[in-house]
Amino acid sequence: MNLQIAMILGQDGVTNGAIYALLALSILLVFTVTRVLFIPLGEFVAFGALTMAAFQAGKAPALVWLLAGFAVAVAVADVLAAFRNSGRVRFSGAQTFRLAYPFVLGFALYRLPLAELPMSVQVLLTLALVVPLGPQIYRLFFQPIASAPVLILLIVSIAVHVAMVGLALLMFGPSGAKTTPFSEAGLELGPITLNSQTLWVIAVSVGLIVVLYQFFERSVYGKALRATAINRVGAQLMGISPVFAGKASFFLATLIATLSGVLIAPITTIYYDSGFIISLKGFIGSIIGGLVSYPVAALGAVLVGLLEAFSAFWASTYKEVIVFTLIIPFLLWRSLTVRHVEEEE
């Protein structure tokens, strides 16, 4: 092992670590606001990557039908809920928009020359297609049981994950996909050349973390989310809607995960079921942060990435073992040092 090898491994580790960090932050965000461990998060990484690849192949992915199906289900659920509450059927402008959105988008996708579009438009279309699924999933599966115990939320979360993986196979097929990189150029840094995609990943991750920090510190919506995370009942008493907080956190998490998928798609081959293992590593990061601390979670996730890169070099057969064993000392340390608080049920 010399400096050059260490630097290449470091670059590899930081690239993966940056993605894990983004996912760790998303998991943490959703968990603190809604108490849901968002296991289907990984699926959005895969959806983002595969949708991008489908666009570059000039095809509109079948995902648009899932979006449309969910939109119809959401509309039905909203109407039923309104009917149960007030005995009248009302359909607001926002609801009409939500129902019409996937159909308009789908129509546009089938008409546009997808493969010829500039990459930035493809990325935007990918986000426009995948991200609304997050709030829809919250509305359909988690909003009705928002006050259920954490364990039940976890079980539902696993169920949604399993269903989404099956649907992903149906929509995208079993073969993997890889997209073209954002740019071909590289950056010379001492003995190694930094891959341009690596720079993109790191830049976008750091950028997103800064934007998120500003959002939570400065904006009213960010503060509302933070308030819900700190004390759910208190926030509700202050007029913050838990439904809004839930949808907003799912929206943000899905956005980050989809963007992660778009970012790593040029680096590696993504299959319909690749997302889970990636988000699992982000999960280790958020566990290191004790499912409360954002900076520690991000650092922990980068640590996972680095550990993965170096253990792949030294003992490739045991790489996964080493990475996932990391969780045990941290759980021990956490359970020995942190004072236990009984959860308010």
Partner 1 sequence: MMLKKIPAALAIAALASFAGSALAQVKVGVIASATGPTALVGIPQKNTVPLLPTKVGDLTVEYISLDDASDSTASVTAVKKLISEQNVDAIIGPSGSPNAMGTIQFVAEAGVPMLAPVGTAAVVLPMTEQKKWVFKTTQNDDIIAKALVDHMTKAGVKTIGLIGTADPYGENWAKVMAGLTEKAGIKIVASEKFQRSDSSVTGQALKILGAKPDAVLVTAPGGPSVLPQTTLFDMGYKGQMYQTHGAALPDFLKLGGKKVEGTILAASLMLVLPEMPDSNPSKKVASEYIAAYEKLHGNKPATFGANVYDAGLLLQQAIPTAAKKAKPGTKEFRAALRDALEQTKELVATQGVYTMTPEDHSGFDERGREMITVKNGNWALLK
Q: Does 271 bind partner 1 (CB under 8 A)?
A: yes
Other beta carbons within 10 angstroms of residue 323's beta carbon come to: 18
By CB under 8 A, name the one of 313, 322, 330, 334 that touches partner 1. Answer: 313
Contacts (CB under 8 A) with partner 1, residues 152-191: 166, 169, 174-178
Structure tokens at 195: 């891959």
Q: Does 311 bind partner 1 (CB under 8 A)?
A: yes
Gap between the Cα atoms of 185 and 145, Å rounded: 49
Task: Report whether 136 contacts 101 (CB < 8 A).
Answer: no
- 31 Rama class: left (phi>0) / alpha (psi -120 to 50) / beta: alpha
By CB under 8 A, name the one of 277, 331, 332, 338 that touches partner 1. Answer: 277
- Nearest by Cα to 278 from 289, 292, 264, 290: 264
Q: Does 5 bind partner 1 (CB under 8 A)?
A: yes
Gap between the Cα atoms of 173 and 38, Å rounded: 24
**How large is the angle between the packed helices 41-56 and 119-130, nearest 10 degrees?**
140
Shortest separation between residue 82's beta carbon and partner 1, angstroms? 31
Contacts (CB under 8 A) with partner 1, residues 96-135: none
Shortest separation between residue 171's beta carbon and partner 1, angstroms? 13
Gap between the Cα atoms of 183 and 149, Å rounded: 47
Q: Does 319 bind partner 1 (CB under 8 A)?
A: yes
Q: Does 9 bind partner 1 (CB under 8 A)?
A: yes
Q: Does 269 bind partner 1 (CB under 8 A)?
A: yes
List residues near partner 1 by CB under 8 A.
Answer: 5, 8-9, 12, 15-16, 166, 169, 174-178, 195, 264, 267-271, 273-274, 277-278, 308-314, 316-317, 319-320
